[in-house]
Structure 1
């Protein structure tokens, strides 16, 4: 919202701070209904900004700002600008975030398309594209090429690998998780642990235990109570209490006519 114009009046440099009525008149002329005048701020020797409450629906805490100006030897006050500005406690919209940076893990659903950027640092171009890495004959060289990633146009870069490794290491299936801290043995010694191939083999694998982290990538240092070497507790009862023999209970028959004054059923 911009308003420019000239309003005649008596002006003296410092007295621009007192030009409240002129600033208010500029707002009214623009069709606004200014509220209480809050304060004025000098903006140099020959300019001042006046702030008024803005009584607008949806703009709680905002304020009108009217900039007035003058010149030496002139009896005119020039209204330079009228703007709506947020004040203390103003209701503001969130900072703009590009769509590509708003996507979060778990947002992708069936039918959605999420293409990696051509310059995605997590990916690098591959050397060749054979197009036949999944042939039926296991003796074919294409099978070896597919295992090495030679059948793909793009491969994971060092940055992409390092980001994934750090994310997995710091996540729910890393050595710092509550489950891992309470475990007796690490995953790298478990029979359900399937190591990854390539450079991440020494640090990560997949869990094949359906009662634990099944199908998740886990750190070799992760662990849980379902380790393949875990020994079941022995003995009867719980570790805190001995087994209770209910055969020692004595069954006492109570007559139907027994009352509160005769608990043993005697008349």
Structure 2
């Protein structure tokens, strides 16, 4: 039969090697000593509150105490004790402060390139683009042909890096959904769109068909990139109806009198036609009377 302890026997051995769970005074003294590094003796003793229980882990035992120091709501002192076995004193292995489920803790750390937001860049600040920025691609290699260089400059090349397809798409979506896009409240109430406005200056390149710059100083989009479907009340085709320089009195309608139209009676069939009768009389009076024989 093997002399090695079984699972239950091993658990009993490990339990015997743990420090006494009631060594609370030693753990509290260690917590007070740690608190004294930042405060005086009296304040340190007050910074360690009531005993909150403990937890065993392998050959160690951790005691928890409430942290009553101002600004540490929900935190607790954790003092881990070690023990070499029967007849040996317990020793302090670690003293730390741990946050509880309702503790006030700092937000999760976020890398700086993820924390930067539009509008954060100030005067004198530098914001380098990452080496693997997916918004940019290598630019055009210079040529000795002047004709080629003229075309390259015209289409926006000649730089170390230029916008990639992803960068253009990302910018187009941002502008389309931004304050100068077609869904803005100003655009929905405008009399016309920027694409038909005389103050609209189209962009060059592949974004020309969808965006431009407003050149109307009275427009809320002046100097900004605006979508073709954006619009405002300063459209170049806005015409205000001109009123008369002379005050014209409003027409007054008299509704107090009701006019009733009565149709004349129809002529009977046995009545002679007045025009025919007159004509007959004229004919008879025009003929001379016959002479007496």
Fold similarity call, TM over 0.5: yes
Equivalent residue runs for 1:127-142 within 5 Å: 127-130=140-143, 140-142=147-149
Number of the residue aligned with 2:106 = 93
- Equivalent residue number for residue 228 of structure 1: 236
Paired residue for 1:136?
none
Q: Which has the larger radius of gyration?
A: 2
- State the partner residue of 2:129: 116
The aligned counterpart of 1:24 is 28
- 1:218 CA drift (Å): 0.6
1:126 shift after superposition: 1.4
Choose the corresponding residue for 1:165, options 172, 184, 187.
172
CA gap of 1:147–1:43, structure 2 versus 1, over 3 A, is farther
2:95 match: secondary structure: strand
Could you tell me how far apart the structure 2 residues matched to 1:65 and 1:221 are?
62
Q: Which has the higher helix share?
A: 2
Change in 2 beyond 3 A, CA 1:67/1:148: same
Q: Work out the CA distance in 1 between the residues paired with 2:248 and 2:80.
A: 87
Q: Which residue among 87, 95, 101 is the counterpart of 1:82?
A: 95
Q: Is 1:50 matched with 2:54?
A: no
The answer (yes or no) to whether the contact 2:56–2:62 under 8 Å persists in 1 is: yes
Q: Name the CA distance, whole Å, in 1 between partners of 2:123 and 2:144.
A: 27
TM-score by length of 1: 0.68
Higher relative contact order (CA 8 A, sep 6+): 1
What pairs with 1:184-199 in structure 2 (closer than 5 Å)? 184-199=191-206
Q: Relative to structure 1, is the Cα distance of residues 128 and 234 closer, same or farther in structure 2, using a 3 angstrom cutoff?
A: same
Q: Number of residue pairs matched?
A: 224
Residues 129, 150 of structure 1: 8 Å contact kept: no
* 1:262 aligned partner: none
Change (3 A) 1:199 1:86: same
Q: Quote the residue 1:217 is aligned against.
A: 225
CA contact (8 A) 1:68 1:79 kept: yes
Deviation (angstroms), 1:96: 3.1
Rounded to whole Å, the distance in 2 between the matches of 1:89 and 1:96 is: 19
Preserved CA contact (<8 Å) 1:16 1:47:
no
What secondary structure sits across from 1:39 in the alignment?
A: strand
